[in-house]
Amino acid sequence: MGQTKNITIEQLGEIISPVAKNWLAYALILPALGWVLLFVIYPVFYSIQISFYNMHLLRPVYRFVGLATYHRVLSSKVTSQVLKNTLIWVGGGTFATMVIGVWMGIFLSMNYKVNRFLAAIILIPWILPDVICGGLWKWMFHSELGVINAVLMQFGILKQAIPFLGQPSTALFICMFIIVWRLVPFVALITLATIQSIPLQLFEAAEIDGASGWNKIRYITLPLLKYPITIGTVLSLVWILQNFTIVWVTTKGGPMYFSEVITTYIYKLSFIKYKVSEGAVLGLLGVGFIFIITLIYLKIFKKFWLEET
C-alpha cells in the first residue's frame, strides 16, 4: 500500500505539469464539454435506467422490472411494423438523396451560367424549418384540395383524386419524398464544392487524351467524390433516422401505423400513451443504430481530424 503512494515532489510535478501547462486549454473546453456531457451523453445512460422500470407518466409508483419492458416492446407487432417502415424510410430516403444529390452536384458543376444561379438558390429547402417543409407539401398532396391532384386531374392523368397521405400504399413514400427534397440540396452542394476543388488540369489532360464527357465523370470525378458521398450518406442516414417533424406534421404516422417511424412511435408511446419506459426502450434501439453509424463515421474520419494538426 505504502509503495504506490510514495510519490516524490518531482513525480507529482510530472503528473500535474501537463495539466497545469495547459490550464487555458482545459478552461476553454470545459463549459462546452460539460454541457455536452450533461445533455448529450448522460441522457443515453438515463435512458438505460428508465428502460429497466415500468414508468408511466400518470402513475407515480413504478418498480424495477428488469427486461420485461424490452420484451413487451420488442415482441409487439406494431414495433415490427414500425421498424420495417423505419428501414424503408431511412434506407430508401438515403439512397434517393444520394443518387439525386450527387447527380445534381455534377450537373451544377457544368459550366453554364444558369448553374451558378441554381447553386445560389437551391439550399432553400434545407434552411426552412421542418414544420414548414412538411406543411407545404402536406397541403400540395392534399386529397381533395391539393394542387398535385388538381393538376393530374386537369390533364386527365387521373379520373379521381388520390388520397396520397391517407392511403397505406403511399403515405410513407410521400414523407420520404419530402425529406429527400429537403436533403438533396445539401448533398448537391457538398458534391459541387468537391468537384470545384478538383484541379482543372486533370480534365484538360483527359481531354487531350480524347476522353468523352461521360468518361471524365466516370474516371476523374466519381473517384474523387468518395469523400462527399461517404459523408453525405452518413449524415443522411442519421438525419432521416432522427427526423420526427416531417412525418408528424404530414401524416402523424397514419393511416393506422402505415407511415409510423421510430421517432413518431417513441413520441406516441411516451407522451400520448404515457408509457415512458417503453418509449425509452425504443429510443435506445434508435440510439444503437446511430451508435453503429457513428462508429463507422469515426473510423473514416478520425484520421482526418486528428492528423491534420
Partner 1 sequence: MTEITRKTISVALVAIVAVIIFLVIWFPMLWAVSTSFKPKGEVYKVPPVWIPQHPTLEMYRRVWTGRSAGGVTEEGSPWGRYVTNSLIVTGTTVIFAMILATFAGYSLARFKFPGRTLIFILFIASQMFPGPMVMVPIYGIMVKLGLYNTLAGLIVIYTASVLPFTTLISVGSLRNIPHELEESAMIDGCSRMGVFFRIVLPLSKVAVITTGIFAFLMSFGEYAFAVVLITGSKRFTVPLGLARYITAFDIYWNEISATILTIAIPLIFIFFAAQKHFVKGIIAGSLKG
Among 38, 68, 224, 296, contact with partner 1 (rule: CB under 8 A): 38
The residue among 2 and 175 lying less far from partner 1, judged by its C-beta, is: 175
What character string, x for contact with partner 1 (CB under 8 A) and - otherwise, covers 69-98?
A: ------------------------------
| Contact window for partner 1 (CB under 8 A) among 6-14, 60-68, 73-81, 223-231 | 223-231
| Contact window for partner 1 (CB under 8 A) among 3-11, 67-75, 151-159, 201-209 | 151-159
- Asked if 171 is part of the footprint of partner 1 (rule: CB under 8 A), the reply reads no
What character string, x for contact with partner 1 (CB under 8 A) and - otherwise, covers 109-128?
A: -x-x-xx--x-xxxxxx-xx
Among 2, 5, 18, 64, contact with partner 1 (rule: CB under 8 A): 18
The residue among 39 and 64 lying less far from partner 1, judged by its C-beta, is: 39
| HEC per residue, the chain | CHHHHCCCHHHHHHHHHHHHHCHHHHHHHHHHHHHHHHHHHHHHHHHHHHHCECCECCECCCCECCCHHHHHHHHCHHHHHHHHHHHHHHHHHHHHHHHHHHHHHHHHHCCCHHHHHHHHHCCHHHHCCHHHHHHHHHHHCCCCCCHHHHHHHHCCCCCCCCCCCCCCCCHHHHHHHHHHHHHHHHHHHHHHHHHHCCCHHHHHHHHHCCCCHHHHHHHHHHHHCHHHHHHHHHHHHHHHHHCCHHHHHHCCCCCCCCCCCHHHHHHHHHHHCCCHHHHHHHHHHHHHHHHHHHHHHHHHHHHHHHHHC
CA distance 163 to 171: 9
The residue among 74 and 290 lying less far from partner 1, judged by its C-beta, is: 290
CA distance 74 to 282: 8
Among 62, 95, 139, 219, contact with partner 1 (rule: CB under 8 A): 139
* Binding to partner 1, residues 258-277 (CB under 8 A): 262-263, 266-267, 270-271, 276
| Contact window for partner 1 (CB under 8 A) among 60-68, 184-192, 203-211, 215-223 | 184-192
Among 1, 6, 39, 60, contact with partner 1 (rule: CB under 8 A): 39
Among 7, 87, 99, 151, contact with partner 1 (rule: CB under 8 A): 151
* Binding to partner 1, residues 278-307 (CB under 8 A): 279-280, 283-284, 286-287, 290, 293-294, 297-298, 301-302, 304-306
